[in-house]
Amino acid sequence: MNDLVWLEIKKENLISNIKTLKNLAGSKVLISPCVKANAYGHGLIETAKIFISAGADWLSVNSIEEAKKIRDVGINRPILVIGYVAESELEKILDWDLKIFISNFDYAEKLSMTGKIKNKIAKVHLKIDTGMHRYGVLMAEAEELAKKIKKLPHITIEGLATHFATSDEPLNLSYFNRQLENFKEIVPKIKNLVGNDLIIHCDKSASLLLCRHGLADLVRPGIAAYGYYPSQDVAKLAQEKNIILRPALSFKTKIGQIKKIPENSCVGYGCTCYTKRPTVLATIPVGYYDGYDRKLSNQGYVLVNGQKAPILGRVCMNITIIDITDCGQVIEGDEVVLIGEQGQENITVEQIANWAKTINYEVITRLRESLPRYYI
């Protein structure tokens, strides 16, 4: 392999996660995994295909651009665009048969007018703000909005959705329960206005893993589909229930230059590190441009020869310096693992997130889109 930095993605783990989530959702519930943000760093198109082969019914994306990439390769599954769509892009909703969230009338009216010009009916999902206060129509305005949209000729309200703010904090469920109660209150009211065949959805990974509320006709898991739990508390409770997710992704590079330097030598930009002993250094051709966070500077380690090789000094744009003194015989071109297993050792995404003081979501979605990805 000629690549210097690459990702390996285990298909069978992605498939296993989708099957686990489908089982949890139940056979009557549609599963619409989120493939936004380049499929959480896993590669949009290949991952979408793998998810479909594992039983995904719909796909959830953030943007029109992502939806277009999926349609361009001939995937014709229903696509729900869960992010903001500019009014100038409304035509594409109809051209590519996409479904979008709606939370205000002006927007719905413009979509209906576009539908009229194209002689098509747009399928929308009313997004209710049950307490997250991000997108969504406020509870008190939801019925009025549904009534007004229902009168528009070129729109069908196909679904009703909300999004939880704290479902990944299962040790304190009070706010989550409040949002759930709000949603339970609004569902029959909107069904009354629009019809009983509305597709009801509210679950992302955390609530799908832990909460059986029986409301949903569709679920929108993201992080869990890739094998990660949304938080440590969710992981603990899910694993206690024997819900096992399998991370699929490894992040790898190769050893570049090797050299021996004496004790008390400066390493890297800013001389933020001085060697404490005669040290064998290696450079690896990966840096923050690739999504290897600069906050890993002088933090954590990579794996070389199945041993931990600490990061020395600052992570640069395209280069990182590691200490391979204790890694045995190493030569230029040897494989280095940044995320994943080597020998008996394993560096998890959560470990990286911990070092970089962020969350697993950010670590994987930041992986450079143009990195080669191998599906094995």
Q: Which residues bind ligand PLP (CB under 6 A)?
A: 34, 82, 163, 204-205, 220-224, 230
C-beta of 82 vs 157, nearer to ligand PLP: 82
Pick the closer one to ligand PLP by CB: 83 or 310.
Answer: 83
Residue 374 annotated as catalytic: no
Dist. CA 58–CA 216, nearest whole Å: 14
The residues facing 9 across adjacent strands are 249, 375
**Annotated catalytic residue: which of 36, 92, 99, 123?**
36
Distance in Å, CB of 352 to ligand PLP, minimum:
17
With respect to ligand PLP, which residue has the nearer C-beta, 204 or 252?
Answer: 204
Rg of the chain, C-alpha, whole Å: 24
CA dist 190 → 136, 238, 259 (Å): 14, 33, 68
Nearer Cβ to ligand PLP, position 104 or 299? Answer: 104
* Collapsed DSSP state (helix, strand, coil) of residue 374: strand
Closest residue (Cβ) to ligand PLP?
Answer: 222
134 marked among binding-site residues = yes
Assess contact for 362 and 347: CB atoms under 8 A.
no
Q: CA 259, CA 290: separation in Å to the nearest integer?
A: 24
Question: Does residue 27 contact residue 215 with C-beta atoms inside 8 Å?
Answer: no
Tokens of 239: 């694993």
Give burial (CB, 10 Å; 0-12/13-18/19+) of 248: buried
Contact 319, 309 (CB under 8 A): no
Closest separation in Å from C-beta 226 to ligand PLP = 8
Minimum distance, C-beta of residue 24 to ligand PLP, in the bound complex (Å): 12
What's the closest the beta carbon of residue 51 comes to ligand PLP, in angstroms? 13
Q: How far is the CB of 162 from ligand PLP (least distance, A)?
A: 9
Closest by Cα among 231, 202, 232 to 217 = 202
Considering the complex, state which of residue 34 and residue 85 has its C-beta at the smaller distance from ligand PLP: 34
Q: Which of 84, 236, 241, 269 is catalytic?
A: 269
In angstroms, the CA 307 to CA 248 distance is: 21
Binding-site positions read 134, 317
Which residues are annotated as catalytic?
A: 36, 269
Binding-site positions for substrate read 134, 317
